[in-house]
Structures are given as C-alpha cells and as structure tokens.
Structure 1
Amino acid sequence: MFVAAKLLKTGYTEAKKHKAKKQAKAQAQYPNPNNGPYPEPYQMSGYPQGVAPGVDVRYQPDTPPPGKRTRLVSMITSAVRFLQFVFGLAVIGLYGQDVHHDHEDGISANAKWIYAVIVGILATSTSGIHMVLPFIIKGVNNSTNPKLQLPQFVWEFILCILWLTLFGIFGKMYIGVHADDSNKSLGDAAKINRMRHAAWVDLVNLLMWVFTASWALMRWLKNKRAATESEMGYDVEKENQI
C-alpha cells in the first residue's frame, strides 16, 4: 500500500513537471498573454476604420515631388502651348478679315483664306485643350498618360502638315512681293503687307507645332522602351524562378 502511494505521488510530480516544461517551451515559441500554442488574434479595435477585412492595407509610399528638370520642362511646354494659342488667334484674325469683307460684299470667300482660318481654329482649339486639360483631369500633363501620347503625336503631325501647306501657299504668293501695278490682283498695299506678315506668322506656328509634335514622339518612344525593358526584366525573373 505504501509503495503504491509512493509511485502515484512520484508519477503525479513527474507529470506536473512535464506539463510545466511544455508550457514554458510554448510560451517561448509563441509569446502571448494567453500562454497558448497559437499567437494572440488581431483585435478588430485596431483595424483601420472604413476598411473591410481582407482588403490590402499595406503602406503605399507617397509620390515624390517632381524634380527641377521636370518642372522646367513643364514650364517650357506650357509657354509654348500659350504661344501656339496666341499665334493661332493671330492667324484667324489676319485671314479672317478678308473672309469677313468678302461676306459683307456678297461674294464668295477665297478657298485659300477659308483654309487658313480653319487651320487657325484647329490649332487654337488644340493648344487651348492642352492648357486647360491638366486643371480638369489631374495628372494629364507632360508625362501624361502614355496611351494618349501616340494619338497626340499623330494629330500634331497632321497639324504640322497643315501649317506647312499654309505657309507654302501664302509664302509663295506674298513673301518678297510689294505693292505695285503688277501685283494689283493680290490686293491693295495694306492687304499685301498684312498677308506678307501673315505668312511669317504661319512659319512661326509651323516651327512651334513641329517642336511639340517632336516632343510628343520622344516621350512616346521613351515610355515604349521603358515598358519593353520592364517586360523583358519580368520574363527573365520568371525564367529564373522556373
């Protein structure tokens, strides 16, 4: 009887020591107030408000502010857009006078002058959109959406062709021409002087649109190359994983 009681007491003591050792090991591996084998569950009181469980709430770094070079390029392009708008209005005014006078006299306006007014309206509208759009849609500017850069280049290239045609027409007619008896068919002295100046304004417009079209093409090629390099890097990383 005494031996049985001794063995029972010894077994109980050993079991108690084994349990304490197991709890100490679990606490060292999973430190939490409950001393359980599993980590303490995340309290919903600390969950961000307005975010449902399962939503990715990882920290997203703030977009760094644009550098000096980016701001300088943005200022230059904005200035060029403004000049395109102003010189486009000038073309509309210079050629629109003759269209208006022909309308008042009850005669059909010359198709060349109508063409000049239409080109001025298209260019002025385009430059006006470029100036206003960044204030309406955030992020649409120089670095603007790459998907819009190729269509932008195509349209501005078309405008370059229109300006080149316009300069060719009126430059051939009026540059180097002065009012005399042999040029009465081109108009009086005031009209010839005005049209000669208008031809040089056409040339300025052509140069500005060539600049912005070239800039749009360069940005599109740069983004396309960056996208291609990114895809190649992704493919190489995928192959390495395989």
Structure 2
Amino acid sequence: MALKFFSRGSMKGEKAGAKNRLAANLTLSSAFRITLRLFQFVMGIVVIGLYATDLDRARKAGVYYDSKWMYATIVGAIASLASLIMMLPLIRAWFFFGVDAILFILYLTAFGIFGKMFIKEDPEGNKDIVRMKRAVWCLLTNMILWLITACYGAVIFWKSRKASTSLTGRGQEHP
C-alpha cells in the first residue's frame, strides 16, 4: 500500500511536471489572451499580404518602393512576431504591455495615413482601391486588438504591483 502511494507521485513537496504546470497556468484569462494574440498574428499576416502586394509590384516594375506601404508592411511584420512571442502560454505577456501600446500607436499611425488616402476614395471599379479600402479596415481591427491587449496588460501589471507575493504572505498571488 505504501509503495503504491509513492508511485503515484503525490508527495506534498514534489514538484509538478511540465504537463501539470501548463494546465495550472492555462486559466480563462490566459486562454482569452492567447486567442487575442492568435487574432493579432493572423491580422498582422493579412496586413503584410495586403500591402506587400504593391511593394512586389513596384519591385517587378523597377520603380521605387513607396515608404507608406513599406511602413505598413514592417508594422505588420513586427506585430506578427511580437504576437507570436507573447502567445506562448508560459510567458507573462502582461509585463510587456508597453510593447502592446507601441504597436497600437504604430497601427494608429498607419490607419491615419491610409484612412485619409482611401476611406473617402470612390473605387469606380478599380480592384486595387477596393483592396486598399479593405486593408484600411484591417489596420483598424489590428489597432483595436493591440489597444485591448495594452489596456489589459496595464491593468494586470498595475494589479500585480499592488498584490503581495507568496513570500510575504499578506495577499493573493497575481494571475
């Protein structure tokens, strides 16, 4: 009987395995965060695809790259990379809410640039203008997603600074 107890690994001081740690860290809020990060990643790839099309067309024609399209493509690439890194479940991504805020500002700038150019534009059957009008709304979606994660991260960061650690024993652990 005693040997069976030891084989289950249920000793009080025993450390949890990687599978148990992952299950313990995967709460409702972390699942929501991972879902938002997945949407940010996908929308970043969409922005890259929409704006890099014109950059590729300019490369093939041998003309200069427009800096506005280059800016939108680079912002999409940085955002996709950042969302991939912050999507990892064992990373406390709320600690990097400043990165979320910076990406929100970058997308806000891109939305301002392309929104002024294309929102009121009448496509008149031009498929490229229709594509750019849709790309503007993708920028707006990205901007909102990064604002949500920046605000969420700031709130969690602020709460974690006020919370006591398990070492002091005066409060609950932060999420």
Task: Encode CA deviations 1:63-85: one digit per residue, 9 max, x unaligned.
Answer: 79749xx6222222111111111
Cα distance, 1:169 vs structure 2: 0.5
Q: In structure 2, how many angstroms separate the alpha carbons of the residues matched to 1:208 and 1:149?
A: 14
Which of the numbers 20, 34, 46 marks the counterpart of 1:78? 34
SS at match of 2:163: helix
Q: In structure 1, how many angstroms separate the alpha carbons of the residues matched to 2:106 and 2:138?
A: 14
Q: Which residue of structure 2 aligns with residue 153 of structure 1?
A: 97
* Kept after mapping to 1: 8 A contact 2:94/2:152: no
* Kept after mapping to 1: 8 A contact 2:100/2:146: yes
Task: Encode CA deviations 1:26-70: one digit per residue, 9 max, x unaligned.
Answer: xxxxxxxxxxxxxxxxxxxxxxxxxxxxxxxxx537779749xx6
1:222 matched to 2:137: no
- Count of residue pairs the alignment pairs up: 155
For 1:159-238, list aligned pairs within 5 A: 159-180=103-124, 189-227=126-164
For 1:86-101, list aligned pairs within 5 A: 86-101=42-57
RMSD: 2.7
Q: In structure 2, how many angstroms separate the alpha carbons of the residues matched to 1:149 and 1:192?
A: 38
Q: Mind listing any 5+ residue stretches in structure 1 that lack a counterpart?
A: 1-58, 135-139, 181-187, 234-242
Which of the numbers 83, 86, 95 marks the counterpart of 1:127? 83
Cα distance, 1:232 vs structure 2: 10
Which of the numbers 62, 65, 70 marks the counterpart of 1:114? 70
1:60 matched to 2:13: yes
Q: Which residue of structure 2 aligns with residue 5 of structure 1?
A: none
Percent of residue pairs bearing the same amino acid type? 36
SS at match of 1:123: helix
Runs of 4+ that moved beyond 2 A: 59-67, 230-233
Counterpart residue identity of residue 13, structure 2: Q
| Larger Rg, first or second structure (1 or 2) | 1
TM-score (norm 2): 0.78
Q: In structure 1, how many angstroms separate the alpha carbons of the residues matched to 2:31 and 2:169?
A: 34
Q: In structure 2, how many angstroms separate the alpha carbons of the residues matched to 1:211 and 1:220?
A: 14
TM-score (norm 1): 0.57
Cα distance, 1:149 vs structure 2: 4.0
Q: Mind listing any 5+ residue stretches in structure 2 that lack a counterpart?
A: 1-11, 171-175
Q: In structure 2, how many angstroms separate the alpha carbons of the residues matched to 1:82 and 1:217?
A: 20
Q: In structure 2, how many angstroms separate the alpha carbons of the residues matched to 1:164 and 1:74?
A: 26
Counterpart residue identity of residue 205, structure 1: N
Cα distance, 1:192 vs structure 2: 0.7
Q: In structure 2, how many angstroms separate the alpha carbons of the residues matched to 1:177 and 1:158?
A: 29
SS at match of 1:227: coil
Cα distance, 1:130 vs structure 2: 2.1
Counterpart residue identity of residue 162, structure 1: L
Q: In structure 2, how many angstroms separate the alpha carbons of the residues matched to 1:149 and 1:77?
A: 9
Cα distance, 1:95 vs structure 2: 0.3
